[in-house]
Structure 1
Amino acid sequence: MWLIMKVREASYTRLCSAKNILTVNGKFPGPTIYATKGETIIVDVYNKGNENVTIHWHGVTMPRYPWTDGPEYITQCPIQPGSKFTQKIILSTEEGTLWWHAHREWWKNDVNAVRDEGLATGGDPDPSDALLINGQPGDLYPCSKSDTFKLTVDHGKTYLLRIINTALQEALFFSIAKHKMTVVGTDGSYTKPLTRDFITIFPGQTYDVLLEANQHPDHYYMAAITYSVAPKYQDFYDNTTTTAIVQYSGYYTPSSPPSFPLLPAYNDTNASVQVMAGLRSLADALHPCNVPLSTSTNLIYTVSVNSYPCVNNSCAGANGTRFSSSINNISLIPLQLTYYKLTIITSAVFMEINFLAIHH
């Protein structure tokens, strides 16, 4: 398969104001690609915008060919304005739903300015002004109701929903009023069916979900909110609610407003892990689960967000510190160290802390 992606700016209006955003082939969200297991996709990416860009192919294993996977300055150089880059995407064992991206929420301000302010101040970037479902904020935001995304269904039919969390950093609770969802796949792999009233989907994660249209013909909200243990008043995250509508076909007078789904409390940690803890692999002849029964080496990786000292406690993080992420207390190891055969001294000393354990 050979595809062309043209990345350029276009003006879009959300939340009562217009701004320029990057689009692919004139679309926001971008075009859907349908492919088969084992297929190779060649993509010519033309950067017609004003900033460096890359296209990341999330969840694709890219066996022996990571050079066009997308992370700039990690596996490839960015695509400069006015340039073209050809990416080779090798689909091997993947099934179900994957995604290519940048991330999608909605800031009224310029996203580059939001990023730069966060880096300059050492604090969290400002939270987005709206969450989106298929590019639309939904009924609960200003100037948005007329464009709310609507999914039309026929009573008695079953639909496959490909649900992707494209948000930058928010985990989301998602539910559909008066309807159960059956998860049959996640992150490019099929799973044993798991039926739930809601799902928790983390940034970058995908779910393949079966929706049975078995309710009385009407309009029903689907909705998503952010899961976070941080109190709402601290304004660390987008605490708004995005909605879309499942509307049954036929002639009837819909309820106004539509039925709203029951969602967990925004800080319900036990609810946040229910789906992932309940998923099981197919473990059949076509999907073997050949995990080792014994190990020779144990490796521990601790991924964290840390507070680092800041001159005169002048940064915007907690107690005047600056935020920085790390793996095993290491925030960055430049690739040049390996090239020049250099080493750095690191420390893996951690505070004692209680973690939520999930057993699979």
Structure 2
Amino acid sequence: MRTRWADGPEFVTQCPIRPGGSYTYRFTIQGQEGTLWWHAHSSWLRATVYEALIIHPKQGDSYPFTKSKRETTLLLGEWWNANPIDVFRQTMMTGGAPNVSDAYTINGQPGDLYNYSSQDTVIVPIDSSKTNLNQPLFFSVANHKLTVVRADTSYTKHFTTTVLMLGPGQTTDVLITGDQSPARYYLAASAYFNAQNAAFDNTTTTAILDYKSAPCSPN
């Protein structure tokens, strides 16, 4: 808000940051609290260069809900077994859609449903009988409900759901209560796609919600 020059592709709003260089962004935050994200704007580097941007309430202010025991940020992404810049260049040459990704990721890890990634699964800790804050994009948690409290840094009327579906670039803050039997539960994300005869990555990425004193196998 109000500082648009801190956003945009290279050579449009500013020069790109050179390899090995640095740049300090100064931008205005007004009436925003919660989870946003930043990403690279040069070519297709946004496919791998991104991270969360979390805005806490001002000192002395409180949340309009009971403060959570833990706060965990989850970012959903895509993975290609190729240089994403090459994928982008091929797209520009053919005029078609980008090649279908080879996997989805949660915090950069594909999860254990992919044959080549049995050890690459994110573990999200949770305490029994405690409420936890997560930043999902499009996912569901086995045997757990999600209470939505914010969307794109704006507080919302609270509502509870079992599945959260958001478009690219959107962020949502939800509360998850550890009210199930101590165990390990899957967090899973997959694509929503309804275009006929169009290829898409029809796979599922997973992470594990881990209760203390839980058995080893996720439910």
Q: Which residue of 2 aligns with 1:76?
A: 14
Please give the residue correspondences for 1:55-134 in structure 2 after superposition, counting only pairs within 5 Å: 61=1, 63=2, 65-101=3-39, 102-103=46-47, 104-134=77-107
- Percent of aligned pairs with the same amino acid: 47
Please give the residue correspondences for 1:1-360 in structure 2 after superposition, counting only pairs within 5 Å: 61=1, 63=2, 65-101=3-39, 102-103=46-47, 104-163=77-136, 165=137, 172=138, 174-231=139-196, 234-235=198-199, 237-250=200-213, 252-254=214-216, 256=217, 258-259=218-219
RMSD: 1.7
Q: CA deviation at 1:145?
A: 1.9
Q: CA deviation at 1:82?
A: 4.5
Query: Which stretches in structure 1 are left out of the alignment for 5+ residues?
Result: 1-60, 166-171, 260-360
Separation in structure 2 between the aligned mates of residue 71 and residue 93 of structure 1, nearest angstrom:
26
Q: CA deviation at 1:90?
A: 1.8
- Residues 252-295 of structure 1 deviation map (CA, whole Å, 9 limit, x = unaligned): 534x4x32xxxxxxxxxxxxxxxxxxxxxxxxxxxxxxxxxxxx
Q: Normalization by structure 2: what TM-score?
A: 0.78
Residue identity matched to 1:139: D
Separation in structure 1 between the aligned mates of residue 135 and residue 87 of structure 2, nearest angstrom:
30
Q: CA deviation at 1:152?
A: 1.5
User: Alpha carbons of 1:253 and 1:82: their partners in 2 closer, same or farther (altered >3 Å)?
Assistant: closer
Residue identity matched to 1:200: M
Separation in structure 2 between the aligned mates of residue 253 and residue 188 of structure 1, nearest angstrom:
36
Larger Rg: 1
Whose RCO is larger (CA < 8 A, sep 6+)?
Answer: 2
Q: Normalization by structure 1: what TM-score?
A: 0.49
Question: Number of residue pairs matched?
Answer: 184
Separation in structure 1 between the aligned mates of residue 135 and residue 147 of structure 2, nearest angstrom:
12
Residue identity matched to 1:175: S
Separation in structure 2 between the aligned mates of residue 139 and residue 91 of structure 1, nearest angstrom:
38
Separation in structure 2 between the aligned mates of residue 111 and residue 195 of structure 1, nearest angstrom:
37
Query: Which stretches in structure 2 are left out of the alignment for 5+ residues?
Result: 40-45, 48-76
